[in-house]
Amino acid sequence: MTDVKEVLSVSVERIMEMIPHRYPMLLVDRLVELVPDSYAIGLKNVTYNEPQFQGHFPSSPVMPGVLIIEAMAQTSALLVVHTLGADAEGKLVYFMTIDGARFRRPIVPGDTMLVRVDKLRNRTNVWKFACQVRVDDVLAAEAIVGAMIMDK
User: Hey, which residues are catalytic here?
Assistant: 56
Q: What is the Cα–Cα distance from 107 to 95, expressed in whole angstroms?
A: 22
Question: What sign for the dihedral angle of Cα 34, 74, 128, 117?
Answer: positive
- The CA dihedral of 127, 73, 65, 142, to the nearest 10 degrees, is 50
Q: What is the Cα–Cα distance from 37 to 90, expressed in whole angstroms?
A: 18
Instruction: Report the chain's C-alpha Rg in angstroms.
Output: 15
